[in-house]
Structure 1
Amino acid sequence: MDILLLGSGGREDALAWAMRQSPSCGKLLAAPGNPGIARWADCVAIDPTDPDMVVSLAKREGIGLIVVGPEAPLVAGVADACRAAGIPVFGPNAAAAALEGSKGFTKDLCASEGIPTADYVRTDRMTEALDALDRFGLPVVVKADGLAAGKGVTVAFSRDDAEAAIRVAGDGPLVIEEFLDGEEASLFALVDGDTAIFLASAQDHKRVGEGDTGPNTGGMGAYSPARVLTPELEEAAMDLIVRPTARAMAERGTPFSGVLYAGLMLTADGPKLIEYNVRFGDPECEVIMPRIDGDVAALLHAVATGRLAEIEAPRLKDSVAATVVIAAEGYPGTPRKGGTIDGIEAAEREHGVTVFHAGTARHGSGALLATGGRVLAVTAIGRTLAEARARAYRGVDAIDFADGFHRRDIGWRELARTSA
């Protein structure tokens, strides 16, 4: 089948890489794509959040499956338009994408369905949010109620920090919530409305600095699987969190179809939901795709056509994947753009290493330039996390990007557990 992939980041590069290796994948287009994606797909310069443009391109090219990478097209209703045109699409309709588009919506759904999550208050005015702080002790979590590219969360350890985060938001909608103590892990489930099955686990590194210090980012690295999410905790999360969510969305007339990414806190009382994303994470996608054993395109098509219950459950390779994000100086604030990048070919000569492009562009001269905050995701696979991480860092060290920086401690918690 011919496939159209929407997006232009590292997640989409990983999806394109995986689908290009799928026996069921014929022609592969990407809109708008990036220089990394262009290695696997033909890139088309259209706005992926414009439903009419996406449908028009898909019809013109005879597309049999549309795969939506980022969240913005989903919230904009691109999947709705594609389904209305009779084109199978991997990704939820706008109403179901509210699970990510509105943290308040998700918190209310959890409250009504008895899904374990943190206590919370929704507010629309700054004065209400400041008053709501009295309900919680410290630390306290302040979340922007909307899309924030993974950076709309403040974990405040002092009242002053909490009030500062609220004042920055002004009178916009916020969720003020209880701080959950434990270790975070990410669970990815495939859902086609009626059926929800576990796909993979991963652990992200959100803080910009080593030792998980500094402000939140979109993610500075990840590894998969997250062994802290044991099979018992995995099944508990599916039974208590993911499946009740899928069931509730279907009962409300807004069935979810796509990948449901549950950010979990593994507390002393069991797994609790931090938040949902309605697409593959970035950089989690970069460590999940290399572990899937089988035809990724066919798997996504089964979700898009409501056939999850009819196919064999997805298989994962008995391996570990790790990715290290190289970001531009200034990230997650104002990143320095335009820096030249060399050495990707040398990095990929390292055994098991693939470099996914997250924020790059080609200059007219052919030079590769940095265009975003997160620029590259250097990914490696190995028999153990230690082996995968060592390969990834050898790949990182082969890359020449003077304006870049990265963390050197990806996977540190898991490696400490392994050593112990």
Structure 2
Amino acid sequence: MTDTTQTIDILLLGSGGREHALAMKLAESPRCGTLYIAPGNGGTAQVGENVAIAEDDPQAVADFARGAGVGLVVVGPEAPLVAGVADAVRAAGIPCFGPGAAGAQMEGSKKFSKELMERAGIPTAAYGSFTDEEAALAYVRAQGAPIVVKADGLAAGKGVIVAETLEEAEEAVRECFSGAFGAAGSTVVVEECLTGPECSLLAFTDGKTVRPMATAQDHKRALEGDMGPNTGGMGVYSPVPIVTDDELAAMKQVMADAVAELAAEGIDYRGCLYGGFMLTPEGPKVLEFNARFGDPETQVILPRLENDLVDVMLACAEQRLDEVELAWRDAWAVAVVLTSAGYPGSYEKGKVITGIEDAEAMDGVTVYHAGTAVREDGELVTSGGRVLAVTALGETFEAARDLAYAACEKIDFEGKTLRHDIGLRALRGREAWA
């Protein structure tokens, strides 16, 4: 039996808003000793110790963890997982939250993920997979538009193109094979375009037991009305009011089926599995799986989680998740992302940020740092495209939404941009997607 009172030192990998949310939740635990974050950001520096380690260098991470006497390593982003960081950490005898390289293929290779779904009978979009440009173009022409073109590997959220016309689809295929996404585009997956609202369902798993989290819905487009280019996420809320009980049950079954199929194929998956779903007229279908917490979904899911996150993650790492039941706050959470002008294109850095303390003085508000840094003179400045996620909890969806936007007004930096319609569509009900 594991001692659930002993404090442990923890190493968290990553530098985004997701990692600030994870760091804050880990630091809340009475079991959390020293919390190291590599490389961290301006927000994580306030809850732990930022350390300079190459997060996607498996040996460097394992060596630091061993040398620092770390008792748990938590891997935030996908790149270190695909690089095999979790394998190196486990080989050093240290518990790790995050799948090994084999399991991380669920995100690292869209072809791998689609083939696994096929074997497991998981509902997903019809697709073709290609390593030859002419064959991919022929498939696109045969299928017609709208259609979705995806670079197979990791492309920092930019390798998915929803093509409304045949010309756009052909251009997307050529872009992938041109090397625009590096090695990620050497294999291209072409999928049917599903319709309906999107919904994310994340789950904790130890490779045997699956504990689904609360539903969330991200807003990926840069501009209001879901216009403009795709981004890493402009805002998010949890739970998702339009999801029916039957749809939720179907999504939970998919998560269990995916983990069971991984286990049946000899893949030991311990960590977070993220299911991105489209709620189609035929029922939920998987758009994609990710091998880690979502960003910005984490910033609305973790504030609602009542469990001790260190306990849950250790249970995943030590394959005793069957001992844990998740509990959730009966509150709504809405997060609005503040971005640098120009994002997701080019943007300037180094803009001084003010007003965070005023925002966090509001009851129910937490400001998660993503693209921030602390200058030598102590000033907090912008250092990325997505700068902050302003999260508010409320007794109703409307109350949480109003509070989040009121808090956004308190914060300022040159070039601050945001969407003002986060959650509005869901407030209108399911017919808003008709």
TM-score, with length taken from structure 2: 0.94
- In structure 1, what is the equivalent of residue 182 of structure 2? none
* 1:242 corresponds to 2:255: yes
Cα distance change of structure 1 residues 249 and 418 upon mapping to structure 2, 3 Å threshold: closer
Listed one character per residue, the Cα deviations across residues 214-250 of structure 1 (whole Å, up to 9, x for unaligned) are 11111001001112233321211122x2122111111
- In structure 1, what is the equivalent of residue 403 of structure 2? 391
Q: Which runs of 4+ in 1 moved over 6 A?
A: none
Listed one character per residue, the Cα deviations across residues 33-61 of structure 1 (whole Å, up to 9, x for unaligned) are 11101111111111111111111111122
- In structure 2, what is the equivalent of residue 6 of structure 1? 13
- In structure 1, what is the equivalent of residue 239 of structure 2? 225
**Does the 8 A contact of 2:145 with 2:169 survive in 1?**
no
Measure how far apart 1:23 and its partner are. 2.0
**Does the 8 A contact of 1:350 with 1:394 survive in 2?**
no
Give 1:297's match in structure 2, choosing from 310, 317, 322.
Answer: 310
Distance, in Å, in 2 between the alignment partners of 1:215 and 1:163 is 18
DSSP-derived class of the 1:340 partner: coil
* 1:122 corresponds to 2:129: yes
Tell me the amino acid that sits aligned with residue 389 of structure 2: A
* 1:59 corresponds to 2:73: no
- In structure 1, what is the equivalent of residue 213 of structure 2? 199
Tell me the amino acid that sits aligned with residue 247 of structure 1: A
Contiguous gaps of at least 5 residues in structure 1: none
**Does the 8 A contact of 2:123 with 2:285 survive in 1?**
yes
* 1:333 corresponds to 2:333: no
Would you say how many aligned residue pairs link Structure 1 and Structure 2? 418
* 1:92 corresponds to 2:99: yes
* 1:324 corresponds to 2:336: yes
Tell me the amino acid that sits aligned with residue 21 of structure 1: E
Give 1:155's match in structure 2, choosing from 151, 156, 162.
Answer: 162
DSSP-derived class of the 1:180 partner: coil
**Does the 8 A contact of 2:141 with 2:166 survive in 1?**
no
Note the aligned Cα RMSD (angstroms): 1.4
Measure how far apart 1:140 and its partner are. 0.5
**Does the 8 A contact of 2:144 with 2:166 survive in 1?**
no
**Does the 8 A contact of 2:40 with 2:50 survive in 1?**
yes
Distance, in Å, in 2 between the alignment partners of 1:373 and 1:165 is 24
- In structure 2, what is the equivalent of residue 410 of structure 1? 422
* 1:270 corresponds to 2:283: yes
Measure how far apart 1:418 and its partner are. 9.3
Distance, in Å, in 2 between the alignment partners of 1:226 and 1:25 is 31
Measure how far apart 1:369 and its partner are. 1.6
**Does the 8 A contact of 1:71 with 1:278 survive in 2?**
yes
Listed one character per residue, the Cα deviations across residues 122-173 of structure 1 (whole Å, up to 9, x for unaligned) are 0112222211113323210011111122222111111111111112112521
Tell me the amino acid that sits aligned with residue 273 of structure 1: V
- In structure 2, what is the equivalent of residue 379 of structure 1? 391
Distance, in Å, in 2 between the alignment partners of 1:194 and 1:367 is 46
Distance, in Å, in 2 between the alignment partners of 1:12 and 1:282 is 9
Contiguous gaps of at least 5 residues in structure 2: 1-7, 179-185
TM-score, with length taken from structure 1: 0.97
**Does the 8 A contact of 1:204 with 1:221 survive in 2?**
yes
Distance, in Å, in 1 between the alignment partners of 2:248 and 2:317 is 24
- In structure 1, what is the equivalent of residue 367 of structure 2? 355
Measure how far apart 1:409 and its partner are. 0.6
DSSP-derived class of the 2:388 partner: strand
